[in-house]
Amino acid sequence: MNIFIPKSVQETLEILNKYCSECIILGGGTLTVPMISELNPRAVILLDKIPLSYIKQIESKKIEIGSTTKISSIMGHDNLGALNIAAKSISGWAIRNMATVGGNILAGFPWGDLATLLTVLDAELLVESVNGERVLDLGKLYGDEEKRPKLQSNELIKSVSFLSPDSNTYFIKVERFKGTKRGILTIATRLIIDKEGYITAARIAFGSAFYHPLRDKIVEEFLKGKMLSADIIEKALEKISVSRLFLKDSLASEQYRSKLAKIYLRRILESYMIQISRRVT
Amino acid sequence: MNQKFTLEFYLNGRSTKAEILPTMTLLDFLREELGIKSPKYGCGWGSCGACTVLVDGNPILSCLTFAISVDGKHVTTLEGLGNSQNLHLIQKAFLESFASQCGFCTPAIILVTKALLDKKPQPTEQDIIDSLDGNLCRCTGYLSIISAIKKSSELLLKQGEKNGRSW
């Protein structure tokens, strides 16, 4: 096993290109370090020293975060709204000091709380290999198995850019036991509502329930053009379609997760109703 | 896997240099190579927090960190705070508040307390609860730990006033 601690992105890409799928990238190490001895890869790359740890505003309503940015760094930023809540919901203080944004995006079931939220913020990943850069739509990366773009083994995630979370963005993490920070379901939503109270666009995603976050495009499509009411909320909940994919683990069955999806999505949609009524009055 | 790295870092304020295997965890290195026994192996996957040490003042889990990652950094363990003849004020507060029973989790929690009070000398109860969210204690039920952290804050502030400076 060869260990590399590159100091630049270019150096990292060259190593990645040489070892490809026989290589493990170590961001924070919280998920990968325990796997190293089992997997015994030919190469391990530590990303500690590459300069991809930053948070910056790139447009008036868009933010970019470098892939090696620690989760705890997000918590120190005031303008990140729901992303702050999602970051705080991740594990303990020490883990947040180690885990990276890039790692969280690839963390898989039942982790990846940031990823669920980023999905509703129309996030895009900037990835690079020795052949050049490309942009991947995070929603598509988590989309249908056949259509989804694949992250190649010689590619490195450099950053994620996304719309700034505003007051129309919600994130909820449901835990089996309070304080354990182990989610059995996460829900992220973003509704764009016009002055009359009609929904012009909707993004709804469920996490900690499948191998990756799941956007429910059927509910999103149903809500589009509607004004929220008790009746519409009821109908929207009936249309939740991705719950058929929910997984079970030692903490929750797929049926329990489906039940929670309805309960918590109802609460979020009711919060939007309250928000709209306050705006009108 | 015979490739060895030269690691240079500061352990409890002292410059330390060693030849290490690159996949050796910081926990194994501290315990097995340097005889620093306060960080404990608990769960091995980031759930219990018993292996917590401070790197550049921030809590991290030494069982999930390769030792080579701390190259050039400052690592603090409980041994760097005080000893049985000269306890640190946080250790005194834990002792007086009966905030330790079996003691397995205590070094990690004391270090988390140090990191918290360095950043926020007068934390709220919620700050204290939040800071402990990665550290399991199966003996105390946490109430005595929370009291000890409040007491630590008081003692350190008093000491700061007495010395005419922030601690």
End-to-end CA distance of chain B: 44
Report the C-alpha gap between B100 and A142 in whole angstroms: 46
Nearest to B67, CA basis, from B78, B57, B75: B75
* CATH 3.30.43 domain extents, chain A: 2-46
Query: Taking CB atoms and an 8 Å limit, are B52 and A94 in contact across chains?
Result: yes
As beta bridge partners, residue B16 has: B9
What is the least distance, in Å, from the CA of B65 to any CA of chain A?
7
What is the least distance, in Å, from the CA of B92 to any CA of chain A?
24
Q: Which residues contact A70 (CB under 8 A, 6 or more apart)?
A: A28, A53, A96, A97, A98, A99, A100, A101
Query: Taking CB atoms and an 8 Å limit, are B59 and A46 in contact across chains?
Result: no
B1 contacts in chain A (CB < 8 Å): 1
What 3-state class would DSSP assign to A266? Answer: helix
Residue B163 is predicted with a pLDDT of 74
Query: Taking CB atoms and an 8 Å limit, are B133 and A93 in contact across chains?
Result: yes
Report the C-alpha gap between B127 and B144 in whole angstroms: 16
How many Cβ atoms sit within 10 Å of the Cβ of residue A279? Answer: 10
Residue B75 is predicted with a pLDDT of 98
- The verdict on B69 touching A (C-beta cutoff 8 Å) is yes
Amino acid (one-letter) located at B11? L
Query: Taking CB atoms and an 8 Å limit, are A26 and B130 in contact across chains?
Result: no
What is the least distance, in Å, from the CA of A95 to any CA of chain B?
7
A2 contacts in chain B (CB < 8 Å): 3
Q: CATH code for A55-163?
A: 3.30.465.10
ipTM of the complex: 0.94
Chain B CA closest to residue A181 = B133
What is the least distance, in Å, from the CA of B113 to any CA of chain A?
12
Residue A60 is predicted with a pLDDT of 87
Query: Taking CB atoms and an 8 Å limit, are B22 and A30 in contact across chains?
Result: no
pLDDT tops 50 at residue B167: no
Mean pLDDT of B49-76: 97
Distances (CA, A) of A86 to A71, A112, A125, B50, B101: 9, 10, 19, 25, 34
When pLDDT is cut at 50, 70 and 90, the band that residue B166 belongs to is very low
Please give the CATH architecture assigned to the domain spanning A169-280.
2-Layer Sandwich (3.30)
pLDDT tops 70 at residue A171: yes
* CATH 3.30.390.50 domain extents, chain A: 169-280
* CATH 3.30.465.10 domain extents, chain A: 55-163
Lowest mean pLDDT among A176-185, A216-225, A260-269: A176-185
pLDDT digits (tens, 9 = 90+) for A112-142: 899 999 999 999 999 999 999 999 999 888 8
CATH number for domain A2-46, candidates 3.30.43, 1.20.144, 1.20.120, 2.60.40: 3.30.43
User: Is the whole model's pTM more than 0.90, yes or no?
Assistant: yes
Residue A179 is predicted with a pLDDT of 63
When pLDDT is cut at 50, 70 and 90, the band that residue A86 belongs to is very high
Residue A132 is predicted with a pLDDT of 97
When pLDDT is cut at 50, 70 and 90, the band that residue A181 belongs to is confident
pLDDT tops 50 at residue B151: yes
